[in-house]
Amino acid sequence: MFKQIRLYIFCLLAGILLYSCNNGINEPSKNVTLRQPFTTGYAVYYGTYYDYLGIDTHVFELDLYTEGLGLDSTGQYVGTGQNLYMTDIFSLGSDSLLTEGIYNVDTLYQYTAGSILRGESYGGIPGGAQLINVSSAGISYDYIKSGTMEVKYRNDSVFIAFKLQTQQGTQIENQYNSKLPQFNMSKTEGAKQEQTRKLTSYKSTKNKQKICFIAENRL
Write the pLDDT tens digit of every residue in 187-205. 665 545 545 555 554 454 4
Residue 12 lies in a domain: no
Q: Cβ contacts of residue 107 below 8 Å, gap of 6+?
A: 118, 145, 146
Give me the domain span that covers residue 90: 31-205
Residue 149 lies in a domain: yes
Residue 210 lies in a domain: no
Residue 166 lies in a domain: yes
Write the pLDDT tens digit of every residue in 89-134. 999 999 999 999 999 999 888 899 999 999 998 888 889 999 999 9
Residue 213 lies in a domain: no
Give the angle subtended at the CA of 181 by the CAs of 147 and 198, to the nearest 5°: 130
pLDDT at 149 over 70: yes
pTM for this entry: 0.77
Residue 45 lies in a domain: yes
pLDDT at 87 over 70: yes
Residue 22 lies in a domain: no
Quote the number of domains for the chain.
1
Residue 41 lies in a domain: yes
